[in-house]
Structures are given as C-alpha cells and as structure tokens.
Amino acid sequence: MRLPLALGLLVTFSLLAVACGGTDGESASTTTTTDAPTTTAADATTSTTEPPITTAPTLVSVELASYPFWDNEVSAVSPGALDALALAYVEGLEPGDEPQMERFLFGSVAVSVFDEVFEGTTPERRQELMWLMHLSGYFGGRWLRGVIADAQPDALVIGVNTTPSEDAFLATSARAAARLEAIDGDDGAVLAAARDALFDKPPLEEGGDPLRGLADNFGYNRGYLEEILATPPEGIETAPRFEVNCGGLFDCVYASPKLAVLEELGGFQALLNSEDPPDPELVAELIPVQAAAIPRGVGVWSGGLSVQGFSQESYDQLLDVSSSFLETVQAAALINTRAVAEDDVAAARTGLIAEAMMIVWLDAYFAGLLDGGGAILLPTFAA
C-alpha cells in the first residue's frame, strides 16, 4: 500500500545499544554525572587550606526502549555520544523547565548532529552521529504514529504495519555509504556528487517513488510545515516562536532558529534569490523542482490527514521538530548549491556528509512510522 506521506512526514526526531543482528534491542540505561550546587553543615568547619566541597554529583540517565539495529558500515553504537548530548540538553534547560525526551531526541539531537557536521567531523565520529540520527528518526516516527493514532485512529497510516527488516536497514546503510565514499573522489567527482544530491534519482524498484533530492525535500517540508501552521487544531494556539516565513529558493526565515550554520549561509541564500544569482542555470533548474514539491507537502496534512485532535503539547512538538528538520534540509541544500556554484570542494564534501545523515534519519523515521508492532514505547529520562 502506498501512503500519501511518501518520503515523508519529514518531521520527526536511552542509551545502550540493541543486540546487533536482531530487530529488537534490549532496554537499558547509562548514567552521566555533572556537578550541581549543594551545601552541607560540614562546609562551615572546612579548613581554609582546602576549598570547601560545595557540589555533589547529579545523575542524568536515559533508558532506551527497543529499536531495530544491525551491524553495518556507516553507523556505530555509542552510548557515550548520546549521553553527552543528553547532559548538554539538560544543562541548557531554562530554570523550571522539565526535560522532554521528544524535544531532546527528535529535535535537539538532530540539530546537534548537523551542527557538528558543518563544523567538521572525523570518520569515527561520523559513525556515532549516524547512530544518533537512526535513533532520532526511528523513535520520532514511532512517536508520530502514536499521536496520530490517538487523534485520528482511522488514519490510513495506522492501518499499515511493516516490521523493520535487516535487508531494508542494510540497504539504507549502503545508500549512505555511497554518499560518504563520494567525498574521497577527485575534485570534479566530488562537485558532481554535490550537484547530484540536489536532484531526484530514479526509484530503487520499478513503480516506486523517486529518491528525492534536496530541492524536492526542501519544498516538500516547507509545504508540510506551512500547512500545519496554517491549520492548527481547533482551539489550539500557535506560539509566535514557531513562526516561519518562506520566500524563494531554499529561503525560509525562522522566528526561533536552531541551526547555527544558517546564519553563515544567509548571505549566499540572499544572493541565490537576487536578480543576479551565481550559476543562474542551476538556479533555474532548482526552482521548479522545489515549487512542484510544495503542494505534495501541503497535501500530507490536507488530504485526509490533519492535526485536528492533537493536544497543545503534541502540536507544539510537531512544529518544533518540523521546523528543526526543515532547517537541516535548508542548510544541506544551500551548502551543496554553494559548492556547485562556487566550485567549493570542501563545501561539497560537507554537503555530502549532511545528505548521508538525512538518508539514515529519513529511512529510520519511516521504519518507526510504519512499525505497528506492540505498544509504542519511547526512551525516557531517569534520575
């Protein structure tokens, strides 16, 4: 059965890995220690020759539910990597805010991964980041399935149940590996691969959907987010922090931007939409691809499925993660376009790594969204 959500409700993004070679992992947890202020009676009599002990460990742990994972060539299980991001997330909360696994794993993790990609990574670190994107995508899909099931139990997607398979997982890994292998080519090959990333590719099987490029993905997710913003659940308000204003090619401005590299790319984005853009032939090719994808994104939430029935919390979460993902697609599209337009090989290599991360995230997301087996269990923070 083909869903109208093809390639994506591209919206949605503990510790300890699953046993490799099976479709289900075992729940477990790890613990991170940080310093938090505390004072005891002993402080009053502490010797002046030694600093008083005014801190004690605060434990941050995340328990991971089962998820599909197999040995592969692009991702490596790294509880410590997720542990470090969880610690940073908790430490960055405003006073009085409670940690929310949905916002951490589906949004914060994905943005943190892309921040690292654009700053530069080692091959070893990239394997850890790929694993993080797999977790973010899979559990993000599971979360959205649960929210839709509660709000609209008769939705088409709820009637689909596809068990994640090793073959599909390894096929995704192979696609991501091909993009990573491309960064080791000569300059011409790398630039050609960056251009290729912007456009659709033939389907993997006869009668299937094309493998969408970055221009299509941006247009699709732009339409997807704009429709959610335009038609909130009845009685639900849209907070100003979620506002997004979009214009031309790869051009969206966010009320609360999260991805740091978008500011750096802002000058090129403006130039791209000027009367004298760099590589006008490339721009002329990309504009209709993006434009054609926008209605498909709008159609996800206006063609039988909607956000009606979502709670304020679920609606806010959907907006938060949807805008986070649109930011990552926008940055990847801009960096690849700039690489091609300016013959910037270093930028092309970064863009290809970003594309590989998206391949892993999106396929994991779909695996979670279509996995109807058992209760939907998400990772949880634990003290």
DSSP per residue, 225-267: HHHHHHSPPTT-PPPGGG-EEE-STT-EEESS---THHHHTHH
Mean pLDDT of the chain: 86
Helix axes 79-91, 123-151, angle to 10 degrees: 70
> Which pLDDT does position 61 carry in this prediction?
76
| Token pair of 273 as six digits | 């939409």
Rounded distance between C-alpha atoms, residue 222 and residue 224, angstroms? 5
Closest CA to 367 of 154, 66, 102, 109: 66
pLDDT of residue 383: 66
Asked if residues 191 and 339 have their Cβ atoms less than 8 Å apart, the reply is yes
Which pLDDT belongs to residue 109?
94
Q: Which residues contact 26 (CB under 8 A, 6 or more apart)?
A: 16, 18, 19, 66
Verdict on whether the full-model pTM lies above 0.85? no
Average pLDDT estimate for 9-34: 37
Least confident of 42-56, 112-126, 274-288: 42-56
Whether 68 has a pLDDT exceeding 60, the answer reads: yes
SS3 content of the chain, % helix, strand, coil (to 5): 55, 10, 35
Least confident of 40-44, 56-60, 288-292, 366-370: 40-44
Q: Can you tell me the mean pLDDT for 95-114? A: 92
Q: Is the per-residue pLDDT at 35 higher than 50? A: no
Say which range, 9-23, 107-121, 231-245, has the weakest mean pLDDT: 9-23
* More confident of the two residues 326 and 15: 326
* DSSP state letters, 132-183: HHHHHHHHHHHHHHHHHHHH-TT-GGGG------HHHHHHHHHHHHHHHHHT
pLDDT computed for residue 83 by the predictor:
83
